[in-house]
Amino acid sequence: MTERPDSTSRSGAPQVVGPYHIVQLIGEGGMGVVYDAEQFEPVRRRVALKMMKPGMDSREVVARFEAERQALAVMDHPGIAKVLDAGVADDGRPYFVMELVRGVRIDEYCDRFRLTLRERVELFIQLCLAVQHAHQKGVIHRDLKPSNVLVAEQDGRAVPKVIDFGIAKATGWQPADLPALTSLGVPIGTLAYMSPEQAESSELDVDTRADIYSLGVMLYEVLSGTVPVDLRVKGAPAFLAELISRDTTFPTPTQRLTATGDAVRRIATSRGTNPDGLKKALSGDIQWVVMRAMEKDRARRYNTANGLALELRRYLNDEPVLARPPSAAYRLSKLVRRHRGVVAALSVAALALAVGTVAATVGMVRARAAREAALAAEQQAATEARTATQVSDFLVNLFEMNDPSESGGATVTAREILDRGADRVKTQLGDDPVVQARLMGTIGSVYDALGLYDNALDLLKRANALQEANLSPTDPELAKGLRLLGAAQQSRGGDLESAERSYRRALAILRQETAPDSTELARTIAGLGATVLSRGRAEEADSLLRRAMDIEERIPGLDDGILAKTVRNLGAAAYYRGKYPEAAQYYSRTVAMEQRRFGRDAPGAADALNNLGAVYFMEGHYDEALAAYQRAKDIWTKTLPPGHPRLAAALTNIGETYDKLGRYKEAEPLLLQALRIKERTLSPDETSNAVTLRVLADVYRDEGRYKEAEPRYLRAIQILEDALGPKHPRLGMVLDGYAKMLRASGRNDEAARVEARRAALNKN
């Protein structure tokens, strides 16, 4: 039985709280402390555990602590830290457990990665949507500031997460037995980001627009590098008095930037520009958006966080923003109220003139826009027609060589047509490199499907080079070319890092240029998920693949094969996380989908059957595993060219199962055949080679042929270390087998060292 550690350390900090083991202190506030903690059962994960401070057990503090937990519990948004659990510690203090956000505060993240103004605004829009979700759930944060917004990398993109709802206010719910959660007479929040109504002593009339004000101050700081007022100069008491009285006049971001002196160069550099460029960028529409969000009169702010997000999106899209310089319109309205009689007659004439002028101007703009749109559509149609003609001519010419009169009476195979097409596309269509790249991509992807990975990579790299030189960096066609290149890089192996890089570049383009439910976007996310899985990051892969499946299932008329591949890869992600029943469900679903499409011998069904065999193998059902592996091999033998890498995978799996059943003499020739196939089709440093080498070494070990086993183990270890690093979990099975061989041959000291290394992998 494992001995339970003491519940508290010598310093007074707990070591164990419920099922959570405290790792370290993350931070603390007025009423609570937050720890980095680890849970071991029923799941193993790292979490953030927030606990009330000792002695802070007054009814008001307990109520506020409970309110924070309730506020977080009702929210479900990727931009807000999730509540996972709650309870009471041994000493009676309540606690709750949240998602552990491994990120940095939003202003530091923007500066560390030198985000441009546009990139900062894009990030801020995500933050606004998270705050909008909280507001929809009836929760006002009341302490929005950079330290309460952490930016973490998720699926290769920056995601801001709102934390610390410790002084949140409920607008739509509150337990009847709790006291009011506002301390009357004491402003609650952080002064630099606090709205005027929040600073007032009553504080009972605060609504969601207080958070809009705080968002405005944060946006001001993220863009200009400084808050509107330096409290070290102004002094907190004086600023608070001005805030409450609404006498504060804030400088615009450009004015504040000018006042920062020498720091302006550093601020501009962290935004990827120079001081003049930054001041120019801040002097446009974005400045009015910021100042409107920070209006002292909340009636003149944006009404919702979503409204602010939409305004920022209009700014990014070069559309007119709703915020206007308050001076002209505001002064005019005051003038009319003071001099109604004098202005009345003038206003009718002025209004008529204005309406006529605006109507004429709008008509001119719309007419011009219509002409430009029609011209662009005509040019696009002409380009597509020319492209279609060129592709058609190329393909007709290519297949004419199968005519006996053109080929000298000889039969031309599909592979020969493909090879000749590849040769021709490299030299033809040079006057239209975009079309040339398209055909290279098509032929390259066919090579990839046939397992001819070197041929595929050659063409797809050429296609990518042409697209990079002739297309816009944000062209969706470039994204598709990158996806095809990433798929080939993943298939060939040996450089999964390059495959991931290709997919991520494609994804960055598609997120800007395509609809959220596009097939190309889904395929790119799914491809990235498969690549991440190959690199050993199963949790991240599962998240990506689920996102891809969610998109694919919403697309009407989608090719079932695309969805089936995603479902199969989700099975692999479950398999590598040890969730075998879940993996079996995904694989069985894939088999059914593929057989509905192409019948009993569907090649895609063979992929899933092969993976289903792996699940049975891990569960110790070797006879069932052997049947699934053999069925996959039979289908591949019928449907794939001789020597395809998938056949090598099936042979390896059958050989490993024979080893478990003690049928060594049957296993060895299959494994040697698999190695020969891989040597012809794969890079020598492909991790798939290590799998077959390890299984062959296991067979030799079990037969007592230690001298033949050892070099195979060592070669497998070297391949995995070079490709994945010395601490990758996939080294575990090879090290296990090698240690058993060393023990069996009497080399116990060496075995102990290998076993120690294996144990260290489990801790990583």
Active site residues: 143
CA 408 from chain centre, in angstroms, equals 55
**Could you count the other beta carbons within 10 Å of the beta carbon of residue 199?**
22
Give me the sign of the Cα torsion angle 578, 584, 586, 591. Answer: positive
Q: How far apart are CA 133 and CA 139, in angstroms?
A: 9
In 3D space, the residue among 33, 29, 30, 2 whose CA is nearest the CA of residue 17 turns out to be 33
Tokens encoding 673 = 């055949």
CB 609 within 8 A of CB 581: no
Dihedral-angle region of residue 47 (phi above 0 means left; psi in -120 to 50 means alpha; beta otherwise): beta
Query: Cα-flanking dihedrals φ and ψ of residue 105, to 5°?
Result: -60, 150
**Residue ranges in 228-322 assigned as alpha helix (H):** 231-234, 236-245, 253-258, 263-269, 275-282, 285-293, 305-316
Q: How far apart are CA 55 and CA 229, in angstroms?
A: 36
Element housing 317 (H / E): none
Q: Which CA distances in Å does 155 have to 181, 522, 532?
A: 38, 14, 10
**Residue ranges in 400-475 assigned as alpha helix (H):** 404-407, 414-427, 433-449, 453-470
CB 507 within 8 A of CB 516: no
Q: At what angle do helices 275-282 and 117-136 cross, to 10 degrees?
A: 40
Q: At what angle do helices 305-316 and 209-224 cross, to 10 degrees?
A: 30
**Could you count the other beta carbons within 10 Å of the beta carbon of residue 159?**
18
Q: How far apart are CA 459 and CA 439, in angstroms?
A: 9
Q: Which residues contact 408 (CB under 8 A, 6 or more apart)?
A: none
**Residue ranges in 450-535 assigned as alpha helix (H):** 453-470, 476-492, 496-513, 519-534
In total, the chain counts a number of residues equal to 764
Q: Which CA distances in Å does 483 have to 17, 441, 468, 497, 508?
A: 47, 10, 14, 14, 11
Q: How far apart are CA 740 and CA 661, in angstroms?
A: 18
Q: Which residues contact 343 (CB under 8 A, 6 or more apart)?
A: 335, 336
Tokens encoding 265 = 């160069």
Locus of tokens 């391949």? 719
CB 239 within 8 A of CB 191: yes
Tokens encoding 667 = 């296993």
Q: How far apart are CA 78 and CA 289, in angstroms?
A: 25
At 90 the three-state DSSP class reads coil
At 314 the three-state DSSP class reads helix
Element housing 119 (H / E): helix 117-136
How wide is the angle at C-alpha 568 spanned by C-alphas 40 and 515, nearest 5°? 100
